Amino acid sequence: MAKHLIDPTDLSKEELEEILDLGQKIIDNREKYSEVCKGKKLATLFYEPSTRTRLSFTSAMMELGGNVLGFSDAKNSSVSKGETCADTTKVINCFADIIAMRHFEEGAAMVAAMNSKVPVINAGDGSHSHPTQTLTDLLTIKRELGRIDNITIGFCGDLKFGRTVHSLIKALSRYEGVKVVLIAPEQLRLPDYMKQEVCEMNGVPYVEVDSMEPVIGDLDVLYMTRVQKERFLDEDEYDRVKDFFILDASKLKNAKKDMCILHPLPRVNEISTDVDSDPRAAYFRQVENGKFVRMALISKLLEWSKDPTKDSQLVPEDAVRGKYVCRNKRCISNIETGVESIFRPALDKPGEMRCLYCESKPQTRENS
């Protein structure tokens, strides 16, 4: 057993704060942490393209004095021969002390964790979740604004497929006085489960709008996102929405002087380069914070995994096995063989169930 990070809520608020504090301590005294992971190995298993996240993990482990192995393209791994995520994880357990996995199948990191004795970090699973980007975003908000509580944050762009948005909203729902403004065209709105199970359940007020100008003056943080082209099944649909929001210097005139602009990157054209020189543009500082917070995460997960009381409880006691089928075609339970269907009770609606891997509802006759 080990302590994993599959979803931002796997960390208690105290653990989250411990990681953010350690991230800041590392920034203040990098030398002190340069041998914390001496003799340890991180495996980066990236089945989907990535520049920042993979290199950020690599650089984080190197700065901690550890080593890195792995692959950056599924074509170079045994997956191309048909190996399952579960088997690959068991194999990598023989080589590495900790795993960071990015996968296009939703729930892949959960399956990896269920088959791993070493900590698994979800570095992005389909459009579901991306908890280490969330740690990056939280540390950046804290460093830019001096607080995470009592902020109004606007999420703009692809709120439907943007996994960084889903994870950050979940994490922010644990802070006091956070208000959320969802800025997206109809086709790219935040999924219902996020609105109900995350915002409404936790008393996070949110509004949905389809243009940025009327709300920009209210925001402490503007979180821009790329329209996730790779998740669209219909290219015409992507073309219709891809240029819906473009932030340029002129739109910032009505924004607060100390608002901070975040973007998980890569950007396509949703932030014009004339914004880059604005002191509020924090997206490149955000990248650097990502390395420090990943250093903090790796060291904490390795430390916590020595303590059995910290072991992740991946499958809740009230989970139901083998009874339902997930309605999400991108869910690993519908793609890979040998992945048992597991559902847990929904937090928001008594009697409703959610897939353990991707949080979708079960199939019914109408949507199957």
Token code pair at residue 321? 């096995």
Q: Between 40 and 163, name the residue whose CB sits nearer to ligand NCD.
A: 163
Gap between the Cα atoms of 171 and 129, Å rounded:
11
Min dist CB 339 to ligand NCD, Å, is: 23
Q: Indicate whether 133 belongs to the interface with ligand NCD (CB under 6 A).
A: yes
Q: Between 36 and 275, name the residue whose CB sits nearer to ligand NCD.
A: 275
**Got the DSSP string for 134-181?**
HHHHHHHHHHHHS-SSS-EEEEES-TTT-HHHHHHHHHHTTSTT-EEE
Contacting residues for 180 by C-beta, under 8 A, at least 6 apart? 152, 153, 154, 155, 169, 172, 199, 204, 205, 206, 207
Token code pair at residue 269? 């054209």
Q: Between 50 and 334, name the residue whose CB sits nearer to ligand NCD.
A: 50
Q: Between 187 and 363, name the residue whose CB sits nearer to ligand NCD.
A: 187
Contacting residues for 76 by C-beta, under 8 A, at least 6 apart? none
Q: Between 8 and 264, name the residue whose CB sits nearer to ligand NCD.
A: 264
Min dist CB 244 to ligand NCD, Å, is: 15
Token code pair at residue 116? 């791993």
- Indicate the helix (H) or strand (E) that contains 88: helix 85-92
Please list every residue from 34 through 63 that binds ligand NCD, using CB under 6 A: 52-53
CA 305 vs. chain centroid, Å, equals 21
Residue in 74, 264, 353, 356 binding ligand NCD, rule: CB under 6 A? 264
**Got the DSSP string for 196-234?**
IIIIITTT--EEEES-STTTGGG-SEEEE----GGG-S-
AA letter at 359: E
Min dist CB 102 to ligand NCD, Å, is: 7
228-257 footprint of ligand NCD as x/- string (CB under 6 A): x-----------------------------
For residue 102, list its beta bridge partners: 46
Cα-Cα end-to-end distance for the chain: 36
Gap between the Cα atoms of 323 and 64, Å rounded:
45
CB 38 within 8 A of CB 66: yes
Gap between the Cα atoms of 161 and 169, Å rounded:
14
Residue in 4, 40, 130, 195 binding ligand NCD, rule: CB under 6 A? 130
Residue in 226, 291, 330, 354 binding ligand NCD, rule: CB under 6 A? 226
Q: Indicate whether 163 belongs to the interface with ligand NCD (CB under 6 A).
A: yes
Q: Between 228 and 289, name the residue whose CB sits nearer to ligand NCD.
A: 228
Q: Between 164 and 312, name the residue whose CB sits nearer to ligand NCD.
A: 164
Q: Indicate whether 8 belongs to the interface with ligand NCD (CB under 6 A).
A: no
Q: Between 143 and 294, name the residue whose CB sits nearer to ligand NCD.
A: 294
- DSSP code for 344: E
164-203 footprint of ligand NCD as x/- string (CB under 6 A): x---------------------------------------
CB 107 within 8 A of CB 355: yes
Count of chain residues binding ligand NCD (CB under 6 A): 11
Min dist CB 202 to ligand NCD, Å, is: 23
Residue with tokens 């597991």: 342
Residue in 23, 70, 107, 124 binding ligand NCD, rule: CB under 6 A? 124
Min dist CB 260 to ligand NCD, Å, is: 17
Min dist CB 301 to ligand NCD, Å, is: 19
Binding residues (CB under 6 A) for ligand NCD: these are 52-53, 124, 130, 133, 163-164, 226, 228, 264-265
